[in-house]
Chains A and B, each alone.
Chain A
Amino acid sequence: MDSRTRAGEQVLLAALRAGDQDAYRELVDRYDAGLRRVARGHLPPAAAEEAVGETWASVVRSIDRFEGRSSVKTWIYRILLNTLRTAAGREGRVVPFSALGSAHDAETASGAPVEDTYRGPGWLGATPSRWDDMPHEELEREELLDMILEAVDMLPPAQREVVELRDLQGFSAAEAAEVLGITAVNQRVLLHRGRVAVRRLLEEYLSHD
């Protein structure tokens, strides 16, 4: 975190600790949608909403105990991940979190072995098509961006978590690794596999245009 960001964090923290409602509103505006996306990746909609609500309640209750060793953002997302684990345990679900390692990552959502997705046609074994000479409008269509979101949602859970945080929500590598409780190397492996899988779906989509 650079010094300017750190200074901004200190101001925000002071406001939150003073119970400044505008500061809390700003926090919710900034992170609520992102938290909901992560939660919906793990729980049915109603349970996901509840988990996000519990997360915000925890933030309010715990703000005085937050020591500032991480950023406010990563702290809030860690609270969410812990809340999701607790909620998943209550529902008797298998918990598909990155921190469990690659065992849950071995297959794509469709059940195909990950190697087939990674080495699939259109990448290795074939001349790849150029996308950089495609008109900008083609790559900015809402339908295509919707497809991208679906592609991310369809990733194996561990890959989806990392791609969600890193590429969709703009977390840094260190932030994502901290939130998910995984190593930087593990985070990068999952990120790469997820990106490659989305790339493949994008290739298929563009080739049918």
Chain B
Amino acid sequence: MTDPLPLHCAEVLDLLTELLEDALSATDRLLVEAHLAGCEDCRIRREQLRVTIELIGRAGRRVL
């Protein structure tokens, strides 16, 4: 079996929610983490999404 190809940034962005939800297959998780290890931009994008999620939750707690 050939090794899976490394992911591009766009593919990683598509998978960020699944990564944060721990919903990726073992293979996909390894591929995403391998990409993140070598791509600072995508690490920043992951952090942006994490902050976005946190702020939505904070906004919700203010009104509920």
Which residue numbers of A lie inside 8 Å of B, CB to CB?
33-34, 37, 119, 123-124, 127-132, 139-140, 142, 144-146, 148-149, 152, 163, 167-170, 173, 184, 188, 191-192, 195-196, 198-199, 202-203
Interface 1/0 per residue, B29-64 and A, CB below 8 Å: 000000000000100110111011101111110111
| Known interface pairs A131-B51, A188-B21; A152-B56 also in contact (CB < 8 Å) | yes
Which residue numbers of B lie inside 8 Å of A, CB to CB?
9-10, 13-14, 16-18, 21, 23, 41, 44-45, 47-49, 51-53, 55-60, 62-64
- A33 lies within 8 A of B57 (CB): no
| Known interface pairs A124-B10, A128-B48, A130-B44; A34-B57 also in contact (CB < 8 Å) | no
What's the count of A-B pairs with C-beta under 8 Å? 87
Q: Taking the nearest CB of chain A, how far is it from the CB of B9, in angstroms?
A: 6
- B56 lies within 8 A of A167 (CB): yes
Chain B residue nearest to A118 (CB atoms) is B13
Q: Taking the nearest CB of chain A, how far is it from the CB of B11, in angstroms?
A: 11
| Known interface pairs A192-B16, A195-B17; A168-B60 also in contact (CB < 8 Å) | yes
A169 to B58, CA, bound (A): 10
User: What residues of chain B lie closer than 8 Å to A168, measured between beta carbons?
Assistant: 56-57, 59-60, 64
User: What residues of chain A lie closer than 8 Å to B63, measured between beta carbons?
Assistant: 33, 37, 149
Q: Taking the nearest CB of chain B, how far is it from the CB of A168, in angstroms?
A: 3
A146 to B58, CA, bound (A): 10
Q: Taking the nearest CB of chain B, how far is it from the CB of A45, in angstroms?
A: 15
User: What residues of chain A lie closer than 8 Å to B47, measured between beta carbons?
Assistant: 130-132
The listed residue (A129, A146, A199) touching B49 by CB distance below 8 A is: A199
Q: Taking the nearest CB of chain B, how far is it from the CB of A57, in angstroms?
A: 22
